[in-house]
C-alpha cells in the first residue's frame, strides 16, 4: 500500500510575455516655424494595471522639434498623455505587471502651417502570478530514486532615485537633451537591492551659430528597499528615465554654457529565492504497477552583468542625397536598435546628421548596421547605448560612420526542475516463480535502470553482483537470487 508524504507551498512565475503598439500624435501649432531639422521623442511609463484579460498601461510622451529660423536653429517642445492596452485570456486582477515602453518609429508631416508628429510607442509587458507547488517528499511502499535539486521563487522589486550632474559645455545654447540609462551592476543585499550604472547624456547644442553634439556619461548608484532581500545574490534590473530637466545658463562672453542636469530614474527588476531540496525523480513498486505524475518548472536565474565596449564602422545609409556640396557639421542624438543573438547582438545605429548646403543648415537620418559577437556573453538579455559617433564622406555620395557602443549583458542560467507530484497503484505484478532472476542489460544502463528492470532494490543488485561497474556495457549477465516466500 502506497503512502505519499506531500510538501506544499507557493511560488511566483511568469505567466505572460506580451507585446503591444500604439500611435501617439502631437500637433505643433506654433506660427512661422521653418523647416524641421530634428525630431526627438522620449517616452516614460506612468501606470500599468492588470485586470481580467487585459493589461492597461499609460505613459507620457515628450517630443522636441528643432527647426531652422533663417540662419538660427530654434526648438519647441510639447508633451502628451496616452493610454493603451494588451489582452490575454490568462490575465486576472492582483497579478504583477512590469512594462517597458520605447519609441519604435517617428514620422512627421506638415498640414498647412502646422506640424504633426506621429510616434509608434512599443510596450514590452511581463506578467507574473503566484502558483501552488506540491511535490512528493517520500513514497512509502515504493522504491525511490532521489536527486538533489533547487526550487526557485521570483521576487520583484521596484523603486526610484534622483540623479544630478553639473558641468560646463562650450556652447551658446542646448537644443535637445537625450538621456539613456544603463544598469552595470545589480546585487541583492540585506534589506535592499544595490544598483549601479551610467546615464548616457547626448546633447544637441549650438556653438557659434552651428549645431554641435556632445556625449557625457553620468554615473549613478542607488539603493532600493526590499523586505525580501535577505541572502546576497545577483539580480536583473532595468532603469528608465521617468522625468528629466536640463537647465542652461549661457555666458555669452565666455561662449560657454553651465548645464545642470537632473533626472528621476525608475527601476524594475527581479531576483530569485533559492531552496535546495531532495526530490524523487523516479519510483517503482516491487508488487504493483505504478502510474507516476510529474510537475515541471523553468526559470532564468541572473548570474552576473557583463559589460563590453565595442567600436563599429562601415558604410552607412542616408535618407538624403549627400555629395561634396554638403559640409558635415555634427552627428547628434545617436541611438541603437538591436536584437539579441546567440553569438551577441546585431542591429543598427541611427543618428541625425547636420550639414550645410547652399548656405542653409539641413539634416538627414543616417543608419549604420552592425553585428557583434560577444565573447563569454552566454545567455541573457542585453542593453546597448551609443556613447559616440562620427560621420565623414569617404567618396562623393558615400558616407562612412564609426560609433562606440557600450553593451551590458545580464547573464542568466536556464534552470529546469522536474519533480514527482503523485503516484497511483495499478494492477498487481506477477510474482516470479524462479529462484534466480537473470537480466541482460542494455548498453549504458545504470544501477537504477537495472534494479527497475529486475523489480528489486538497487541494494539487492549491488549485494548479489558486487563486481559490476556502471554504466554497464551490455555484455553482462546479472543474477539475483530470490528467497522462498
Answer yes or no: do 471 and 402 share one domain. Answer: no
Give residue 160's pLDDT: 95
Q: Which of 97, 129, 161 is the last residue of a domain?
A: 129
In a domain, 370, yes or no: yes
Q: State residue 476's pLDDT score.
A: 84
**What is the per-residue pLDDT for 30?**
75
Which structural domain range is residue 387 located in? Answer: 306-411
Last residue of a domain, one of 112, 129, 146: 129
Determine which helix (DSSP H) or strand (DSSP E) holds 461, and give its type and residue range.
helix 458-464
Number of domains forming the structure of the chain = 3
Q: Summarize the confidence of residues 449-454 as an average pLDDT.
A: 87
Q: Is the pLDDT of residue 54 over 60?
A: yes
- Average pLDDT of span 49-59: 96
Instruction: State mean pLDDT over 147-163.
Output: 94
Starting at the edge strand that comes first in sequence, how are the strands of the sheet with 398-428 ordered?
A: 327-340, 344-357, 360-373, 288-318, 398-428, 380-395
How deeply is 203 buried, as exposed, middle or buried, from its count of CB atoms within 10 A (0-12, 13-18, 19+)? buried
pLDDT tier at 433, thresholds 50, 70, 90:
low
pLDDT digits (tens, 9 = 90+) for 256-288: 888 999 999 999 999 999 999 999 999 999 888
Residue 410 has pLDDT above 90, yes or no: yes
Residue where a domain stops, chosen among 74, 101, 129: 129
Most confident among 32-46, 124-138, 250-264 (mean pLDDT): 124-138
Q: Do both 108 and 36 map to the same domain?
A: yes
Domain identity same for 347 and 377: yes
> 360 or 418: which carries more pLDDT confidence?
418
Residue 121 lies in a domain: yes
Question: Given pLDDT bands bounded at 50, 70 and 90, which one contains residue 484?
Answer: low
The alpha carbon dihedral of 359, 351, 264, 26 has a sign of positive
Same domain, 439 and 476: yes
Does residue 457 have a pLDDT over 70?
yes
Which of 208, 193, 188 has its CA nearest to residue 303? 188
- Report if residue 242 sits inside a domain: no
CA distances (Å), 358 to each of 327, 353, 362, in order?
10, 16, 10
Closest CA to 180 of 197, 194, 167: 197
Confirm whether 223 is domain-assigned: no
Q: What is the pLDDT of residues 201-230, one digit of tens each?
A: 999 999 888 899 999 999 999 999 999 999
What residues contact residue 468 under an 8 Å CB cut-off, 6+ apart?
461, 462, 476, 478
**pLDDT confidence of residue 482:** 67
**Are 199 and 263 a contacting pair, CB within 8 Å?**
yes
pLDDT of 431 strictly over 80:
no
User: Rounded CA gap, 76 and 176, in Å?
Assistant: 10
Tell me which of 133-137, 176-180, 409-413, 471-475 is least confident: 471-475
Cβ-proximal residues to 120 (8 Å cutoff; 6+ apart), any chain: 21, 22, 23, 103, 104, 105, 106
Within a domain: residue 191?
no
Contact call for residues 345 and 334 (beta carbons, < 8 A): no
Examine residue 471 and say whether the peptide bond preceding it is cis (omega within 30 degrees of 0): yes
Contact status, residue 163 vs residue 126, Cβ threshold 8 Å: no
Confidence of residue 477 (pLDDT cuts 50, 70, 90): confident
Q: Is 463 helix (H, G, I), strand (E, B) or coil?
A: helix
Query: According to the model, what pLDDT value does residue 483 have?
Result: 58
3-state secondary structure of 458: helix
CATH of the domain at 473: 3.10.350
How far, in Å, CA of 289 to CA of 443, rounded? 25
Domain identity same for 407 and 447: no
pTM of the model: 0.87
Whether residue 122 is found in the same domain as residue 56:
yes
> What pairing do the DSSP bridges indicate for beta strands 192-207 and 344-357?
unpaired
What is the rounded distance in angstroms from the CA atom of residue 392 to the CA atom of residue 398?
9
Inside any domain, residue 252: no
Whether residue 395 is contained in a domain is answered as: yes
Residue 170 C-alpha cell reads as 562650450
Q: Are residues 374 and 464 in the same domain?
A: no
Q: Is 124 in the same domain as 18?
A: yes
Are 405 and 438 within one domain?
A: no
Residue 24 in any domain: the answer is yes
Of 351, 314, 89, 90, nearest to 213 by C-alpha is 351
Looking at the predicted structure, is the pLDDT value of residue 113 above 90? no
Among residues 99, 143, 96, 104, the alpha carbon closest in space to that of 122 is found at: 104
pLDDT at 171 over 90: no
pLDDT digits (tens, 9 = 90+) for 337-346: 999 998 999 9
Same structural domain, 454 and 404: no
Give the DSSP H/E element, type plus range, for residue 454: helix 447-454
Per-residue pLDDT at 403 exceeds 70: yes
Asked if 61 and 77 count as a contact pair (C-beta separation under 8 A), the reply is: no
In Å, how far from its chain's centre is CA 21? 18
pLDDT above 80 for 434: no
For residues 53 and 118, membership in a common domain is answered with yes
404 and 442 fall within a common domain: no
The rounded mean pLDDT for the chain is 91
Is the Cβ–Cβ distance between 325 and 358 less than 8 Å?
A: yes
Mean pLDDT score, 289-308: 94
Return d(Cα 373, Cα 407) in angstroms, integer: 11
pLDDT score of 397: 81
Amino acid at each position: 500500500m502506497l503512502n505519499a508524504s506531500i510538501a506544499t507551498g507557493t511560488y511566483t512565475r511568469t505567466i505572460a510575455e506580451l507585446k503591444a503598439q500604439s500611435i501617439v500624435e502631437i500637433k505643433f501649432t506654433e506660427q512661422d516655424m521653418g523647416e524641421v531639422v530634428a525630431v526627438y521623442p522620449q517616452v516614460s511609463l506612468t501606470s500599468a494595471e492588470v485586470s481580467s484579460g487585459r493589461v492597461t498601461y499609460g505613459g507620457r510622451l515628450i517630443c522636441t522639434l528643432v527647426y531652422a529660423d533663417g540662419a538660427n536653429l530654434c526648438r519647441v517642445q510639447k508633451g502628451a498623455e496616452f493610454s493603451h492596452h494588451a489582452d490575454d485570456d490568462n490575465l486576472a486582477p492582483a497579478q504583477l505587471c512590469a512594462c517597458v515602453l520605447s519609441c519604435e518609429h517617428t514620422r512627421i508631416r506638415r498640414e498647412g502651417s502646422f506640424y504633426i508628429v506621429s510616434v509608434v510607442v512599443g510596450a514590452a509587458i511581463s506578467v507574473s502570478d503566484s502558483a501552488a507547488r506540491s511535490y512528493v517528499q517520500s513514497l512509502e511502499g515504493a522504491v525511490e530514486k532521489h536527486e538533489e535539486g533547487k526550487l526557485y521563487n521570483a521576487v520583484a522589486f521596484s523603486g526610484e532615485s534622483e540623479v544630478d550632474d553639473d558641468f560646463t559645455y562650450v556652447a551658446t545654447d542646448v537644443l535637445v537633451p537625450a538621456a539613456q540609462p544603463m544598469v552595470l551592476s545589480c546585487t541583492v543585499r540585506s534589506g535592499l537591492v544595490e544598483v549601479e550604472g551610467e546615464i548616457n547624456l547626448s546633447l544637441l547644442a549650438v556653438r557659434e551659430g552651428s549645431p554641435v553634439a556632445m556625449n557625457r556619461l553620468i554615473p549613478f548608484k542607488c539603493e532600493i528597499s526590499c523586505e525580501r532581500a535577505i541572502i546576497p545574490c545577483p539580480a536583473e534590473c532595468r532603469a528608465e528615465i521617468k522625468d528629466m530637466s536640463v537647465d542652461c545658463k549661457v555666458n555669452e562672453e565666455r561662449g560657454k554654457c553651465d548645464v545642470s542636469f537632473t533626472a528621476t530614474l525608475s527601476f524594475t527588476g527581479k531576483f530569485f529565492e533559492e531552496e535546495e531540496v531532495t526530490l524523487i525523480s523516479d519510483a517503482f513498486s516491487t508488487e504493483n504497477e505504478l502510474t507516476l505524475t510529474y510537475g515541471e518548472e523553468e526559470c532564468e536565474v541572473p548570474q552576473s552583468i557583463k559589460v563590453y565596449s565595442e567600436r563599429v564602422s562601415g558604410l552607412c545609409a542616408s535618407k538624403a542625397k549627400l555629395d561634396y556640396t554638403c559640409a558635415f557639421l555634427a552627428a547628434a542624438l545617436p541611438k541603437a536598435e538591436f536584437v539579441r543573438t546567440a553569438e551577441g547582438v546585431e542591429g543598427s545605429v541611427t543618428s541625425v546628421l547636420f550639414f550645410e548646403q547652399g548656405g542653409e543648415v539641413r539634416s538627414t537620418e543616417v543608419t549604420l548596421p552592425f553585428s557583434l559577437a560577444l565573447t563569454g556573453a552566454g545567455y541573457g538579455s542585453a542593453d546597448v547605448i551609443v556613447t559616440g559617433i562620427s560621420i565623414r564622406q569617404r567618396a562623393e555620395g558615400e558616407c562612412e560612420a564609426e560609433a562606440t557602443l557600450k553593451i551590458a549583458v545580464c547573464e542568466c542560467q536556464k534552470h529546469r526542475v522536474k519533480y514527482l507530484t503523485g503516484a497511483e497503484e495499478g494492477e498487481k505484478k506477477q510474482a516470479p516463480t524462479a529462484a534466480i532472476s537473470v537480466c541482460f542489460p542494455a548498453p549504458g544502463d545504470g544501477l537504477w535502470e537495472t534494479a527497475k528492470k529486475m523489480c528489486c532494490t538497487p541494494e539487492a543488485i549491488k549485494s548479489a553482483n558486487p563486481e559490476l561497474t556502471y554504466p554497464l556495457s551490455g555484455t553482462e549477465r546479472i543474477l539475483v537470487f530470490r528467497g522462498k516466500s
